[in-house]
């Protein structure tokens, strides 16, 4: 096809040899199938901020580290320089998250770099070599849904251990190849420890996945992986290979009992102190 204008600089630089076809144009990006030498890959061209649905950007960006303070201040003020920097931070967030996920053994497209607002990555294909379908477009047997859900919960645990919450995980952002699910679309990934919305986002990601797979395996709908995962994470007890049960006891656990007892003791001492003070006052009156 005719080279789209945003891909021309990459063609000029020899990073891309040919643009084969447009795969998809979504809210945030347009994705192309490209050829780099003998390899067929994928190029994700980010839309400019103004054309993106940016409603929740602030929620996602909270806690993101900006390495340099001039940049940080400009981003907060929203100057032109600031907007450009924010744009770059958004684009780099996806490639950073892809590298971190790959290092944590989570199936994501292999990244090849981000140049001029274009992310080059592995094209995920199915057993026939065609572009892999989205999870939303595949029919699963009970056994396949069970096994993919298990894999997916493991991926989410490993991400959390790497300090990342996807933030937009759904059946539209998971591709399925012959080995199972592949997670895509991570520009909004959030820092699990620095972002106050991380827990809510993790719950939503996990519950989206469980509800989706639960259509094929209703017994999954009773599970409580999100709460189980987050509780272990907060206690510093979540490991990349932690085997989860899907069970979570909402009742007070041992740690809570301790804090309840402490409160009861404090209230008792407080009451005792007030009683003694009142007695002292009363005694003073008698003395008078």
Ligand X SMILES: Nc1ncnc2c1ncn2[C@@H]1O[C@H](COP(=O)(O)OP(=O)(O)O)[C@@H](O)[C@H]1O
User: Is residue 106 within the footprint of ligand X (CB under 6 A)?
Assistant: no
User: Is residue 4 within the footprint of ligand X (CB under 6 A)?
Assistant: no
User: Is residue 121 within the footprint of ligand X (CB under 6 A)?
Assistant: yes
CB closest to ligand X, residue no? 26
Output the DSSP codes for 244-257: P-S----S--HHHH
Cβ(199)–Cβ(160) below 8 Å = no
Cβ neighbours of residue 116 closer than 8 Å, sequence gap 6 or more = 6, 9, 10
Cβ neighbours of residue 177 closer than 8 Å, sequence gap 6 or more = 124, 125, 126, 127, 132
97-107 residues labelled b (16+ CB within 10 A) or e (exposed): bbebbeebebb
User: Is residue 171 within the footprint of ligand X (CB under 6 A)?
Assistant: no
Cβ(248)–Cβ(231) below 8 Å = yes
Report d(CA 245, CA 266) in Å as an integer. 37
Site string for Mg ion, 171-200 (x = CB under 5 A): --x-----------x---------------
Closest CB to ligand X among residues 23, 49: 23
Closest CB to ligand X among residues 56, 73: 56
Which span (5-13, 128-136, 140-148, 271-279) binds ligand X, by CB under 6 A? 128-136
Using CB under 6 A, pick the residue from 20, 23, 36, 102 that binds ligand X. 23
| 142-161 helix and 198-214 helix, angle to the nearest 10 degrees | 170
User: Is residue 42 within the footprint of ligand X (CB under 6 A)?
Assistant: yes
Cβ(43)–Cβ(117) below 8 Å = no
Which span (22-30, 62-70, 148-156, 211-219) binds ligand X, by CB under 6 A? 22-30
Using CB under 6 A, pick the residue from 10, 16, 31, 189 that binds ligand X. 31
Shortest distance in whole angstroms from residue 183 CB to Mg ion: 11
User: Is residue 134 within the footprint of ligand X (CB under 6 A)?
Assistant: yes
Q: What pairing do the DSSP bridges indicate for beta strands 29-36 and 39-46?
A: antiparallel
Q: What residues are paired with 42 via a beta bridge?
A: 33, 121
Shortest distance in whole angstroms from residue 114 CB to Mg ion: 17
Query: For binding to ligand X (CB under 6 A), which residues are involved?
Result: 23-24, 26-29, 31, 42, 44, 109, 121-124, 131-132, 134, 172-173, 175, 184-185
Query: For binding to Mg ion (CB under 5 A), which residues are involved?
Result: 173, 185
């Amino acid at each position: 096809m005719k080279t789209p204008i945003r891909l021309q600089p990459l063609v000029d630089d020899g990073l891309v040899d040919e643009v084969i076809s447009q795969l998809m144009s979504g809210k945030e990006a347009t994705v192309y199938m490209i050829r780099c030498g003998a390899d067929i890959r994928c190029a994700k061209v980010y839309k400019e901020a103004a054309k993106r649905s940016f409603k929740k950007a602030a929620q996602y960006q909270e806690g993101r580290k900006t390495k340099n303070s001039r940049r940080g201040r400009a981003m907060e003020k929203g100057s032109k320089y600031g907007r450009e920097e924010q744009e770059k931070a958004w684009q780099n967030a996806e490639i950073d998250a892809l590298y971190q996920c790959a290092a944590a053994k989570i199936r994501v497209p292999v990244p090849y770099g981000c140049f001029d607002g274009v992310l080059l990555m592995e094209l995920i294909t199915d057993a026939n070599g065609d572009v892999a379908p989205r999870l939303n477009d595949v029919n699963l047997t009970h056994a396949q849904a069970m096994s993919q859900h298990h894999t997916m919960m493991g991926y989410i645990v490993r991400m959390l251990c790497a300090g990342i919450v996807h933030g937009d995980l759904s059946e539209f952002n998971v591709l399925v190849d012959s080995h199972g699910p592949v997670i895509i679309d991570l520009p909004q990934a959030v820092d699990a420890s620095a972002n106050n919305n991380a827990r809510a986002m993790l719950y939503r990601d996990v519950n989206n996945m469980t509800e989706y797979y639960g259509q094929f395996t209703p017994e999954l709908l009773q599970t409580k992986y999100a709460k189980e995962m987050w509780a272990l994470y907060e206690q510093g007890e979540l490991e990349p290979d932690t085997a989860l049960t899907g069970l979570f006891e909402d009742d007070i656990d041992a740690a809570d009992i301790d804090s309840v007892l402490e409160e009861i003791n404090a209230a008792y001492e407080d009451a005792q102190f007030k009683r003694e003070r009142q007695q002292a006052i009363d005694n003073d009156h008698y003395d008078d």
